[in-house]
């Protein structure tokens, strides 16, 4: 096992690993921007002028978000960080104007310190457990400029419960190893972590506006009708998944 945080294999200190990335290469970028990306662009536009921003995407996969933001932010500069070399190679090919760096969200290189007007981390916070979540937020604060904007999207729990979840699945009847990716922290825990770093947490719900059917991989989310909600996200872990945007605008931070 390699050093903690330096690869997907080690992203939870040897207990469970993040492996669910192959589809990002197999399926390529979506023809239409993802709904979450469009909502994110709206959040950014409410907070900053959409020009000249230095943008860092943590857990960038193949750079799909950076590609979208490069169409929304005029004259921006774009850096993506991920631990998976194949994803970064694909990103370099699809978005040559961006820079792709291999690094863990838990150990971002010091060359990135205080360098970014906008730091995004979409769909990767839930990879990290209670021993890693502080390092995750420390790193985001460290690479954001003192007046920067941090936006994280991840499932959160509204009942004050932190749930550390590991799963394993069978593909073609073959049992796989233990995986991470669905750890769900409470809003309260994240608000405390952010406040301890001098920030103020704002939450904006992401609720999907389209139906999604189950796919062959049971870990990927789909929508079901639950009570008043016609599009509750769920997955083969039998979770009710509610993604929330966590917004920290350091222009509004406590002293
Ligand atoms: C669910 S995917 C989200 C990808 C992309 N942000 C998106 O929204 O389409 C999680 C990403 O986090 C990356 N990842 C896993 N462990 C990481 C770590 N320790 N540091 C940075 N990225 C990591 C994976 O390789 C994968 O690209």
Is residue 122 in contact with ligand 1, taking CB distance under 6 Å? yes
Residue 2: per-residue pLDDT: 34
Residue 14: per-residue pLDDT: 55
Residue 23: per-residue pLDDT: 86
Distances from the Cα of 204 to the Cα of 39, 43, 103, 200, angstroms: 10, 9, 28, 13
Query: What is the token pair recorded at 178?
Result: 């233990």
Report yes or no on 32 lying in a domain.
Answer: yes
pLDDT confidence bin for 7, thresholds 50/70/90: very low
Report yes or no on 240 lying in a domain.
Answer: no
Q: How many helices (H) and strands (E) are present in the chain, helices listed first?
A: 6, 13
Report yes or no on 228 lying in a domain.
Answer: no
Dihedral sign, Cα of residue 196, residue 36, residue 129, residue 62: negative
| Ligand 1 atom nearest residue 57's Cα | 6
Distance 2 CA to ligand 1 centre (A): 18
Helix (H) or strand (E) holding 22: helix 22-27
Report yes or no on 33 lying in a domain.
Answer: yes
Report yes or no on 140 lying in a domain.
Answer: yes
Could you tell me the residue range of the domain that residue 168 belongs to?
8-214+246-252
Distances from the Cα of 139 to the Cα of 133, 135, 205, 255, angstroms: 10, 6, 24, 19
CATH number at residue 38: 3.40.50.150
Report yes or no on 27 lying in a domain.
Answer: yes
Query: What is the token pair recorded at 129?
Result: 């457990």
Q: How many other C-beta atoms lie within 10 A of the C-beta of residue 83?
A: 24
Minimal CA–CA distance to 179: which of 61, 24, 22, 19? 19
Q: Is 94:124 a contact under the CB 8 Å cutoff?
A: no
30: helix, coil or strand? Answer: coil
149-173 pLDDT, tens per residue?
Answer: 999 999 999 999 999 999 999 988 9
Length of the chain: 255
Q: How much is the pTM?
A: 0.92
Report yes or no on 231 lying in a domain.
Answer: no
223-248 pLDDT, tens per residue?
Answer: 999 999 999 999 999 999 999 999 99
CA dist., res. 55 & res. 164, Å (int): 30
62-110 pLDDT, tens per residue?
Answer: 999 999 999 999 999 999 999 999 999 999 999 999 999 999 999 999 9
- Number of domains within the chain: 1
pLDDT confidence bin for 22, thresholds 50/70/90: confident
Is residue 82 in contact with ligand 1, taking CB distance under 6 Å? yes
Is residue 16 in contact with ligand 1, taking CB distance under 6 Å? no
Is residue 105 in contact with ligand 1, taking CB distance under 6 Å? yes
Core vs surface per residue 40-61: b (16+ CB within 10 A) or e? bbebbeebbeeeebbbbbbbbb
At residue 76, φ and ψ (nearest 5 deg) are -80, 170
Is residue 123 in contact with ligand 1, taking CB distance under 6 Å? yes
Q: Which of 17, 37, 59, when mutated, tests ligand 1's pocket best, judged by the most ligand atoms within 8 Å of its CB?
A: 59
Report yes or no on 210 lying in a domain.
Answer: yes
| DSSP assigned state of 51 | B
Decide if pLDDT at 15 tops 90.
Answer: no
Residue 30: per-residue pLDDT: 86
CA dist., res. 219 & res. 236, Å (int): 5
């Amino acid at each position: 096992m390699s050093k903690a945080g330096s690869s997907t294999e080690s992203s939870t200190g040897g207990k469970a690993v993040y492996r669910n990335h192959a589809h990002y290469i197999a399926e390529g970028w979506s023809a239409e921007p993802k709904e979450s990306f469009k909502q994110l662009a709206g959040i950014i536009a409410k907070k900053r002028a959409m020009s000249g921003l230095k943008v860092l995407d943590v857990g960038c996969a193949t750079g799909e978000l950076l590609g979208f933001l490069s169409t929304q932010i005029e004259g921006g500069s774009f850096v993506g960080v991920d631990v998976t070399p194949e994803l970064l190679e694909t990103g370099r090919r699809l978005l040559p104007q961006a820079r792709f760096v291999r690094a863990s969200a838990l150990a971002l290189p010091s060359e990135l310190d205080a360098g970014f007007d906008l730091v995004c981390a979409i769909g990767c916070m839930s990879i990290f457990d209670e021993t890693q979540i502080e390092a995750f937020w420390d790193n985001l604060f460290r690479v954001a400029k003192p007046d920067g904007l941090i936006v994280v999207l991840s499932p959160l729990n509204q009942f004050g419960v932190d749930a550390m979840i590991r799963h394993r699945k069978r593909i073609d009847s073959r049992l796989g190893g233990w995986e991470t990716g669905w750890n769900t922290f409470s809003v309260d825990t994240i608000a405390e972590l952010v406040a301890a770093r001098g920030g103020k947490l704002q939450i904006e719900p992401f609720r999907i506006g389209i139906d999604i059917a189950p796919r062959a991989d049971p870990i990927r989310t789909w929508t079901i009708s639950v009570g008043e909600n016609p599009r509750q996200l769920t997955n083969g872990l039998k979770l009710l998944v509610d993604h929330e945007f966590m917004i920290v605008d350091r222009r509004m931070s406590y002293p």
